[in-house]
């Protein structure tokens, strides 16, 4: 009575590869992978056995981050002057803090370019800024691109925390380099011992 | 046109990447939609696509869709502002 019916054939691919990874009692949230994903974009997937997915995520986040820095310069990451923007940018990890540090070390210190005195009211304290400071479109787009990199990396980190380790490995068939039964060995083993080893998770990163 | 190209070329030679803002962004800022769309698509599809082998194709398709949608919106607003609004008589 309580037996479960198999899904219809047209949904077979969906049941084999669920589109969204979810945290459940059998698939707990992996804080280790989540935190390593913050250390460098995509690294959380790489250490949990989903290397290819991690590399694609890394490529996406770094495309945004590097584009932002190229367009706006390191001035578009400033944890003091643009603190609200930096809340999102910090999602990209230590590279965002590094960019903010480079802003302080090279631009605000005046070591990379001469400082310019800004016009101010009479009697007001004099303000000087670097002549490399980004203004207008370059600063807007640079800040936005780095901000988006940070936000998307938070999504990637959450995915690394909820995705099952090694879940990208093929469940049927073999790829070059996969540790599956060899041709000669397959003939010598019994049918019960030919369970594909590629489905076994290779890492239990922070699975507690 | 030639003067503008030479202008961008000379400022590009003097540009210090990552320290200085990119030169003449005010002229080509709209091209930034391409790295924006590609970056968002790859990061998003890395979390959503079930079959990893289809990820690059799906990400590129999503990038093309974003750019096409933005171009469509630009054409639509251009048509309204340039062609439609002049027909509205200001009293």
ipTM score = 0.85
Which residue range is the domain that position B9 belongs to? Answer: 2-87
Q: What is the pLDDT of residue A90?
A: 97
Q: What is the pLDDT of residue A85?
A: 96
Q: CA of B56, closest CA in chain A: separation in Å?
A: 8
Q: What is the pLDDT of residue A114?
A: 82
Given pLDDT bands bounded at 50, 70 and 90, which one contains residue A22?
low
Between A22 and B32, name the one with better pLDDT: B32
Interhelix angle B55-78/B33-48, rounded to 10 degrees, is: 140
Question: Is B12 in the A-facing interface, judged by CB distances under 8 Å?
Answer: no
Overall number of domains in chain B: 1
Contact A60 B48 (CB under 8 A): no
What rounded mean pLDDT belongs to chain A?
78
Q: CA of A180, closest CA in chain B: separation in Å?
A: 19
Interhelix angle A51-72/B33-48, rounded to 10 degrees, is: 160
Contact A57 B26 (CB under 8 A): no
Given pLDDT bands bounded at 50, 70 and 90, which one contains residue A130?
confident
CA–CA separation, B20 and A112 (whole Å): 9
High-pLDDT (> 70) share of chain A, % = 69
Question: Over the stretch B25-69, which tens digit does the pLDDT of each residue have?
Answer: 888 899 999 999 999 999 999 999 999 999 999 999 999 999 999
Chain A CA closest to residue B58? A56
Q: What is the pLDDT of residue A148?
A: 97
Residue A67 has its nearest CB partner, among B29, B35, B44, at B35
Q: What is the pLDDT of residue A129?
A: 83
Q: What is the pLDDT of residue A30?
A: 92
The token pair that represents A109 in the structure block = 């210190």
Q: What is the pLDDT of residue A9?
A: 52
Query: Would the pLDDT of A143 be above 60?
Result: yes
């Amino acid at each position: 009575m309580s037996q479960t019916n198999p899904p219809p054939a047209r949904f077979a691919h969906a049941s084999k590869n669920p589109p969204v990874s979810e945290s459940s009692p059998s698939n707990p949230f992996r804080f280790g992978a989540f935190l390593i994903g913050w250390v460098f974009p995509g690294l959380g997937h790489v250490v949990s056995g989903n290397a290819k997915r991690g590399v694609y995520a890394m490529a996406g986040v770094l495309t945004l981050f590097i584009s932002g820095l190229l367009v706006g310069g390191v001035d578009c990451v400033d944890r003091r002057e643009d603190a609200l923007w930096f809340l999102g940018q910090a999602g990209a990890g230590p590279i965002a803090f590094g960019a903010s540090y480079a802003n302080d070390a090279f631009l605000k210190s005046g070591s990379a370019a001469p400082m310019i005195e800004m016009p101010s009211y009479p009697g007001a304290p004099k303000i000087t800024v670097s002549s490399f400071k980004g203004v207008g479109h370059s600063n807007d787009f640079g800040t936005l691109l780095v901000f988006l990199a940070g936000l998307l990396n938070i999504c990637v980190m959450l995915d690394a925390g909820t995705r099952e380790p090694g879940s990208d490995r093929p469940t049927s068939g073999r790829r070059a380099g996969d540790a599956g039964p060899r041709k000669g060995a397959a003939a010598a083993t019994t049918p019960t011992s030919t369970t594909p080893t590629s489905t076994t998770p290779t890492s239990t990163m922070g699975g507690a | 046109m030639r003067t503008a190209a030479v202008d961008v070329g000379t400022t590009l030679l003097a540009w210090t990447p990552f320290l200085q803002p990119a030169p003449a962004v005010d002229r080509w800022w709209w091209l930034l939609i391409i790295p924006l769309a590609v970056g968002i698509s790859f990061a998003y599809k890395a979390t959503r696509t079930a079959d990893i082998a289809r990820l690059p194709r799906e990400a590129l398709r999503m990038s093309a869709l974003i750019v096409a949608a933005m171009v469509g919106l630009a054409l639509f607003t251009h048509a309204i502002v340039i062609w439609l609004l002049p027909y509205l008589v200001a009293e």
